[in-house]
A = this chain, B = another copy of it.
Amino acid sequence: MSNSKIDGNWFREADDEWRGYCTSLEIEEILYHEKSDFQDILVFKSVSFGRVLVLDGVIQCTERDEFSYQEMIAHLPLNSHQDPKKVLVVGGGDGGVVREVLKYPTVEEVILCEIDQKVIDVCKKFIPSMAACLNDPRVTVQVGDGIKYLESKKGEFDVIITDAPDPMGPGVVLYEKKFYEELNQALKPKGIICSQGQCLWFDLDTIIKVLKQAKEIFPVYAYASGYTPTYTGGHMGYIICSNDKSVNLKEPIRNFTYEQLDEMKMRYYCPDLHRACFNVLPYFARKELKSILDT
């Protein structure tokens, strides 16, 4: 659990992971605040970022900037895959990632594996712009432990997206090698995984650890960067891997035009960004990751 708190009309996000630094959002109205079997769930209407979902004191998404995260974590792998049909989303009960996955007409089936039914219910009620898509007939919601769910799956998915919380408490296992081995086993040939890849400024040790693990398992892997103001430090990384060495993760397959992007209701992702987002690593991180990424 973080040290976050509601301080007057401000939500202040504090945690030892980013000690001495704090992002705060002003609250207009608290819409929901209860403990589920798994975590503390808070939804509030903010003064300038729309509705906000907070789990165990950490901001998960705001209506104003959530698209930057959901689009990156979904379209980087989906638009690197020739023919994605069956997609698994681990975590992400808010529905944002699923909403993006459903934008691909080839996608026939999306399984959302979320441990906390309460998150799904609360988001359907308070943040339908993200969670309404969970009612789509192509979506199956599986409430349960993503790791247990994966154990029984072999060669089933074209793309697996891990919409992981930060590596604290129950989130820790999603950054372990065992989990990446299970992701690999659950992929079809030419499969792609994409996971939340933390902040370069605060979590470089975790990023190095996870990329080293990925390198031991996957022939192709890369680290992309994006901007999301309400995530600590404003930087959010994405770890993307494929089980097929012929897959080029850095070159988008569909060169969507502006008209197509508008039709798809895109706000952050576009093919030119896809090509560039692997190459904006600051030098301090590039040096640390050089032997792993070989860039």
Q: Which of A102-110, A168-176, A178-186, A226-234 contacts B (4 or more CB under 8 A)?
A: A226-234
Contact A48 B25 (CB under 8 A): no
- CB neighbours of A199 from chain B (8 A): 229
Does A65 lie at the interface of the complex (its beta carbon under 8 Å from any beta carbon of B)?
yes
Does A149 lie at the interface of the complex (its beta carbon under 8 Å from any beta carbon of B)?
no
How many protomers of this protein does the assembly include?
2
| Whole-angstrom CA separation of A236 from B14 in the bound complex | 23
Interface string of A268-279 (1 = CB under 8 A from B): 111011011111
Q: Which of B47, B227, B234, B286 contacts A282 (CB 8 A)?
A: B227
Contact size class for A? 35 or more
Does A215 lie at the interface of the complex (its beta carbon under 8 Å from any beta carbon of B)?
no
Interface string of A5-28 (1 = CB under 8 A from B): 000001010000011111111100
Contact B281 A273 (CB under 8 A): yes
- CB neighbours of A280 from chain B (8 A): 225, 227, 273, 276-277, 280
Contact A227 B229 (CB under 8 A): no
- CB neighbours of A208 from chain B (8 A): none
Does A295 lie at the interface of the complex (its beta carbon under 8 Å from any beta carbon of B)?
yes
- CB neighbours of A269 from chain B (8 A): 283
Interface string of A235-270 (1 = CB under 8 A from B): 100000000000000000000001001000011111
Given A19-B48, A21-B49, A229-B234, verify A282-B268 contact (CB < 8 Å): yes
A-B contact pairs, 9 of them (CB 8 A): A21-B25, A23-B24, A201-B229, A231-B234, A258-B287, A266-B283, A268-B283, A272-B279, A273-B280
Given A22-B24, A227-B233, A229-B234, list of 12 further CB < 8 A pairs?
Answer: A19-B26, A21-B48, A22-B25, A199-B229, A226-B282, A227-B227, A227-B280, A267-B283, A273-B280, A273-B281, A276-B278, A277-B280
